[in-house]
Amino acid sequence: MDAVALVETWRQVVNNPYLRDLPFKLELNEEGKVEFAMSPATNRHSLFQGRLQALLLRCLPNGIQMPECSILTGKGVKVADVIWASDAFFARYGDTTPYPKAPELCIEVASPSNTADELATKTRLYLEAGAVEVWIVREDGMVELYGPEGQREQSVFGIQVAPLKVS
């Protein structure tokens, strides 16, 4: 399915009243088929999302951060748990749904049901779609940073990323 058809299918999914208020995320694969993106949200997952948004707001004030961001990728529409986009990105794309390009920073918070392959694939897809950096937050709060060259020791955004804590 081409990008235009995927975007239209995504808009139909977003506007479908039967798919509202589900306790999990939906994504589209490259064929335009709806996929369940994660197990029902846990409070730990939500806590990590909130902490990440606060970190981004504090460390990268010139831009926007938001949860549950839909992004058109080479394998359909994927939904990042948290993103940061520069003011320039936001000025260009606003609230376009899904974004036709990945924001500069995409973050996935691992759920118990996520496999290593799923997380690696999403990392690759976000980078291919234009992300500068992707973070994977593991269940123990450890944060892995990735760029086009592979895993990184430090963020190119100048953020010191310490393990996230729940308590």
Q: Which of 9-23, 108-122, 132-146 has the lowest mean pLDDT?
A: 9-23
Contact 73/28 with Cβ under 8 angstroms?
no
Pairing relationship of beta strands 105-109 and 76-86 according to DSSP bridges: antiparallel
Residue 60 C-alpha from the chain's centroid: 17
> Which of 136, 119, 122 has its CA nearest to residue 71?
122
pLDDT band at residue 13 under the 50/70/90 scheme: confident
Write out the two tokens for 86.
């520069």
For residue 163, the cross-strand partners are none
β-pairing, 34-36 vs 133-137, is unpaired
Which CA distances in Å does 163 have to 12, 41, 122, 127, 136?
38, 20, 21, 23, 11
Q: Give the pLDDT band of residue 141 (cuts 50, 70, 90).
A: very high
Considering the four listed CATH numbers 3.40.50.10490, 3.40.50.300, 3.30.390.50, 3.90.1570.10, the one that applies to the domain covering 41-152 is: 3.90.1570.10
Model confidence pLDDT, tens digit, residues 59-79: 999 999 999 999 999 999 999
- Residue boundaries of the structural domains of the chain: 41-152
The closest of 57, 46, 80 to 157, measured between CA atoms, is 57
Please give the single-letter amino acid code of residue 141.
Answer: G
Which residue shows structure tokens 């709060």?
Answer: 141
Residue appearing with tokens 């235009």? 4
pLDDT at position 111 is 86
pTM of the model: 0.85
